[in-house]
Structure 1
């Protein structure tokens, strides 16, 4: 295990509901592991070009390990265990915010509210791909291409319904859910684990965005430099390291899992 206590191939999910989601899906997905094997399999089945792939991130503090990652890193997908400090921070940040009402091409990011039980791994994957990948890196007429075209003009609730109603997403999620290293939790065994999938991406506005389907909307964490990617020093300080510091201050364990979407070097 790395010094900063990242661990890979750990299941991650929350309880499947947004803070005040009006409807929770009757669908229950099998929980996904946050590792490259699972996420690459799902991404390729849905239509991501094999010129890109997810890679393990073993440390966010060891420069030699960071240098091993292909660049640019387009997005980070992290599973974060809930702590009391993070819960308090989330509650205080979300409380004054209105529910997201963005839609259309003018938005700096595309965000999906989570209503599917155990769907946050899939939604984290979509957040990474749709907000960091050029159209040339998505196979034409694939499930990803069709989904993105339909989702962009929709509002928050309609996007959530689109995910719920797209049967292909359920089928592909279930097909890959048992390819990871650990025994998956069966769909019928709906148990909250306290882990959350969070995506960090550089939006079209040049800002770092934190995307999680169980918040009130996408969260702008601040501007990045022109040459900054999703794992640059500034992106890490604005994003995942903020959560790590919060975890340390609360004396909780640091069992995070992190993968990076970047060029495929194989």
Structure 2
């Protein structure tokens, strides 16, 4: 499903910088991460069903990360605020950090933040090419606290240039950078230690959703139960209806 995605910028600090929202399109996303320096061995793929075995069987595995795109509902906002109210602001940094998390301060950049979360964590991190912009960005980000890390992204010309190039691609006309688009990206990533992380630059920090076994990836039954299905079930039950959403996964390239 290809549609432009951003968000309403609730609780994202108002800044002078705004990006054109990325289209929720695996080709666009793959182009962007390859341009930044992820190996061509990995690519993004549409997930047409989370439950139909015949459709899941076509996807190359393992699924290293999922990007869920959904409308920002009142139900989601209420849950997010309630869950975050008892949490401290994340302050992790350094080589011992369990997961690399990026705080979002650029308007309409939730797609970009989701992509960075997907490629800078878990097994995909080992597929970042030496000497690339992505490797430099990650190397520079790791020792920084979240505020300084967000400022580094804000100031990155390489990131802004690659994003602008990718935003021109896709199947639909891109909205203006200042547009209020009420769709949002959340990433689910399996770390190399086996933890399933929900990563969202609008939250107070990374969310550990549970432990996965060596045989599990983020699209496995357990991976979905702890991650994307738990998220969708909560939204559907509270909202009283089916949630409009789409999912793409990061996994082996088919080329």
Q: Confirm or deny a common fold (TM above 0.5).
A: yes
2:150 is equivalent to residue 157 of structure 1: no
Partner of residue 107 from structure 2, selected from 112, 117, 139: 117
Matched residue SS, 2:250: strand
Query: Aligned match of 1:193 in 181, 185, 202?
Result: 181
2:253 maps to what in 1? 264
Indicate the residue corresponding to 2:204 in structure 1: 216
Structure 1: state its 5+ residue gaps.
1-7
Task: Name the CA distance, whole Å, in 1 between partners of 2:79 and 2:236.
Answer: 14
CA contact (8 A) 1:16 1:119 kept: no
Shift of 1:171: 1.0
Aligned partner (choices 216, 223, 227) of residue 239 of structure 1:
227
2:174 is aligned to 184
Alpha-carbon deviation of 1:181? 1.1
**TM-score normalised by length of structure 1:** 0.91
Which stretch of the first structure deviates more once superposed, 212-221 or 224-233?
224-233
The Cα shift of 1:178 comes to: 1.9
Task: Figure out how many residues of one structure are paired with residues of the other and give that number.
Answer: 254
Counterpart contact for 1:25–1:164, Cα < 8 Å:
no
Q: For residue 34 of structure 1, what is the aligned residue in structure 2? A: 24
When normalised by structure 2's length, the TM-score is 0.95
How many angstroms does 1:253 deviate by? Answer: 4.3
Report how far residue 88 of structure 1 moved. Answer: 1.7
SS for the counterpart of 1:186 is coil
| Residue 79 in structure 1 maps to residue 62 in structure 2 | no
Deviations 1:122-149 (A, max 9, x none): 1110000001245541121111000000
Conserved 8 A contact 1:16-1:114? no
Distance 1:171 1:16 in 2: 22
- 1:16–1:242 CA distance, 2 compared to 1 (3 A): same
- Structure 2 stretches of 5 or more lacking a match? none
Within a 5 Å distance, the mapping from 1:48-197 to structure 2 comes to 48-134=38-124, 136-187=126-177, 190-197=178-185
| Preserved contact between residue 16 and residue 115 of structure 1 (Cα < 8 Å) | no
Q: Which runs of 4+ in 1 moved over 6 A?
A: none
Cα shift at 1:83: 2.2
In the alignment, the residues of structure 1 paired with residue 182 and residue 125 of structure 2 have an alpha-carbon distance, to the nearest angstrom, of: 34
CA distance in 2, matches of 1:212, 1:136: 22
Question: Equivalent residue of 2:122, what SS?
Answer: coil
Note closer, same or farther for the CA distance 1:122–1:93 as it changes in structure 2 (3 Å cut).
same
SS at match of 1:61: coil
1:181-204 alpha-carbon deviations (Å, 9 max, x no partner): 1111122xx232221110000123
Is the 1:76–1:258 Cα contact (8 Å) retained in structure 2? yes
Shift in CA distance, 194/253, structure 1 to aligned 2, threshold 3 Å: farther
Task: Give me the CA root mean square deviation.
Answer: 1.5
